[in-house]
């Protein structure tokens, strides 16, 4: 096996396995959620096939597409969200993974057209500020991808709430994008519950920056 085919096999397995995190954390219903990853060193991405249940996913069933979203290798159609994922990879060299879900609490904020304010230290850590709202955009062209890239370009957050739709997250790799999707839903729920009982207290910008820098640069195993 050549080095590049070994890499592609690894990416297929990683993308397949990460879908079980979406179900484990309750981020998806039926087949509505997907993970993709860039293939290192190649202008390719690996993404979930469309309409296949999470229990039936295998590494071999993953779809390989070019960065225009056209299928290079796969027996099924790729996820219907492939164009949005591909747009992000074309416009963000730093992104190695993209995740999309309609997770309940985060999507409830999106349905109201409301960014999630930064009122938790965990939000400052992970998102470096609010989780921003992206535009209302219909599937079928580059509108969703463009909305993701334009919105995240102005924020430290790796997550964006697309209005009336759901969550897209990015990461240096697919696992980081999945983590962002899990954390996004977690803080969306907490801030929602807080909002039921009163007005959540904003964290001052300076402290948000301090927390974010510490978490991104010091915390954890490096
Ligand atoms: Zn969707």
Ligand 1 mean position, distance from CA 134 (Å): 13
Tell me how far apart the alpha carbons of residues 56 and 73 are, in angstroms, rounded to a whole number: 18
Ligand 1 mean position, distance from CA 173 (Å): 20
Query: H-type helices in the chain, by residue range?
Result: 3-24, 82-91, 104-112, 121-127, 143-152, 174-197, 205-217
Per-residue tens of pLDDT for the chain, all 222 residues: 555 666 999 999 999 999 999 999 999 999 999 999 999 999 999 999 999 999 999 999 999 999 999 999 998 999 999 999 999 999 999 999 999 999 999 999 999 999 999 999 999 999 999 999 999 999 888 999 999 999 999 999 999 999 999 999 999 999 999 999 999 999 999 999 999 999 999 999 999 999 999 998 877 655
Helix, strand and coil content of the chain, in percent to the nearest 5, comes to 45, 20, 35
Ligand 1 mean position, distance from CA 93 (Å): 23
Ligand 1 mean position, distance from CA 5 (Å): 31
Instruction: Assign residue 169 a region (left: φ > 0; alpha: ψ between -120 and 50; beta: otherwise).
Output: beta
**CA-based max dimension of the chain:** 60
Which tens digits make up the pLDDT trace of 71-117? 999 989 999 999 999 999 999 999 999 999 999 999 999 999 999 99
Ligand 1 mean position, distance from CA 166 (Å): 6
Closest CA to 9 of 34, 40, 33, 35: 40
Ligand 1 mean position, distance from CA 147 (Å): 13
Global pTM?
0.95
With a CB cutoff of 8 Å and minimum separation 6, the contacts of 129 are 118, 123, 155, 156, 157, 205, 208, 212
Structure tokens at 100: 């999309």
Tell me how far apart the alpha carbons of residues 216 and 201 are, in angstroms, rounded to a whole number: 23
């Amino acid at each position: 096996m050549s080095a590049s085919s070994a890499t592609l096999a690894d990416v297929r397995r990683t993308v397949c396995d990460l879908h079980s995190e979406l179900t484990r954390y309750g981020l998806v219903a039926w087949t509505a959620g997907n993970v993709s990853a860039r293939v290192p060193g190649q202008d390719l991405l690996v993404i979930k096939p469309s309409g296949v249940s999470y229990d039936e996913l295998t590494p071999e069933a993953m779809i390989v597409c070019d960065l225009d979203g056209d299928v290079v290798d796969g027996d099924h159609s790729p996820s219907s969200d492939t164009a949005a994922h591909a747009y992000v990879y074309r416009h963000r060299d730093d992104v190695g993974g993209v995740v999309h879900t309609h997770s309940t609490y985060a999507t409830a904020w999106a349905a109201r057209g409301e960014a999630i304010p930064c009122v938790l230290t965990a939000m400052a850590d992970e998102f470096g500020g609010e989780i921003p709202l992206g535009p209302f955009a219909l599937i079928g062209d580059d509108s969703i991808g463009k909305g993701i890239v334009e919105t995240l370009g102005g924020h430290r957050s790796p997550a964006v709430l697309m209005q009336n739709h759901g969550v897209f997250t990015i990461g240096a790799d697919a696992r980081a994008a999945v983590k962002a999707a899990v954390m996004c839903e977690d803080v969306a729920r907490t801030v929602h519950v807080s909002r039921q009982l009163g007005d959540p207290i904003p964290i001052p910008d300076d402290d948000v920056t301090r927390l974010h820098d510490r978490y991104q640069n010091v915390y954890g195993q490096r």
